[in-house]
Amino acid sequence: MKYELYYWPEIQGRGEFVRLVLEDADCDYVDVAREPGGGTRLAAVLSGDRGGVLPFALPVLYAGTTVIAQTAAITSFLGERHGLAPGTEAGRLAALTIALTIADLVAETHDTHHPIAVDKRYELQQAAAKERSAVFRRARMPKFLGYLERNLERNGEVLVGSTISYVDLAAFQVIEGLSYAFPRAMARVRGHIPKLLALRDRVVQRPRLLHYLTSPRRLAFNEQDIFRHYEELDG
C-alpha cells in the first residue's frame, strides 16, 4: 500500500512524528503537499471534499480508503501495522498512553510562543510568551521529560515492550525539538534524563532513520514550526 501523508510542506511540525514512523518502517508513501499540485489536494482534504472522516487539522493519513487524523492515532495505526508497536493489547494501550502524553508536551511547547492566540504573530504576544516559557522551563518541561525517564527506569532500554516502537521515535523527536528551542534549559535538565538521552542516541543510529535524517527530506527546525528558538524565551 502507498500511504498519502497530508501535512504542511514547510515545517516538520506534528507531521514529522508520522514521517519518522513511515521512514523507519520503510513504507511506500507520498508527502502530498510537497508534490506538484499538492496544495490543492491538501485543501480538498481539509474541506472534506476528499471524503472520509472530516479532519479538524493536519496531519492526515490516507491508507487506501481508510482516513486517520491526529498524530497519536496515525502513529499508533502505523506502528501496529509495521512492527513498531507492542504485540499485546496491554502493551499497545501503554504505548498509546505515552504517545498521548507526548502530544500534550508538544502542545505545551507550542504554547510557549503562542500563549494567547494561535492566529496572532509571536511579536504581538511576546511578553506573555516570556512568562509562559519561564513556567515551561522551570516546571512543565522537566515534569514531562522526567515522566519519560521514569518509564525507561521501569521498563528498560525502550519506553514500552522490549523493542523500539513508535513512541520511542516520538521521544526522539521531542528531545531534538526541545534541544533546538530551549538549548540552555535542556542543558540544565540533561543530567536528570540519562536514559532518555541514551534512547535518543540509539534511535538516531537506526539505519533507515539515519538515512532520512541526513537527507534533504528532513527539514530543518525553523521559526514557523512548533519547536521555535527565540533567545528571549530560553532564560
- Given pLDDT bands bounded at 50, 70 and 90, which one contains residue 110? very high
Same domain, 109 and 190: yes
User: Binning pLDDT at 50, 70 and 90, where does residue 52 land?
Assistant: confident
Indicate the residue among 81, 111, 133 that finishes a domain: 81
**What is the percent of the chain with per-residue pLDDT over 70, rounded to a whole number?**
100
Residue 163 in any domain: the answer is yes
Q: Would you say residue 212 has pLDDT above 90?
A: yes
Report if residue 202 sits inside a domain: yes
Are 144 and 105 in contact, with CB atoms under 8 Å apart? yes
**Same-domain pairing of 46 and 15:** yes
Give pLDDT, residue 2.
96
The residue among 233, 108, 168 whose CA lies nearest residue 176 is 168
| pLDDT of 1 above 90 | no
Tell me, what CATH number does 61's domain have? Answer: 3.40.30.10
Domains identified in the chain, total number: 2
28-55 burial: b if 16+ Cβ within 10 Å, else e: ebebbbeeeebeeebeebeeeebeeeeb
Q: What is the pLDDT of residues 116-171, one digit of tens each?
A: 999 999 999 999 999 999 999 999 999 999 999 999 999 999 999 999 999 999 99
Residues 50, 154 share a domain? no
- The verdict on 105 and 185 lying in the same domain is yes
- Domain, as residue range, for 22: 2-81
| CATH number of 137's domain | 1.20.1050.10
Cβ partners under 8 Å of residue 93, min gap 6: none
* Residue 129 within a domain: yes
pLDDT band at 195 (very low <50, low <70, confident <90, very high): very high
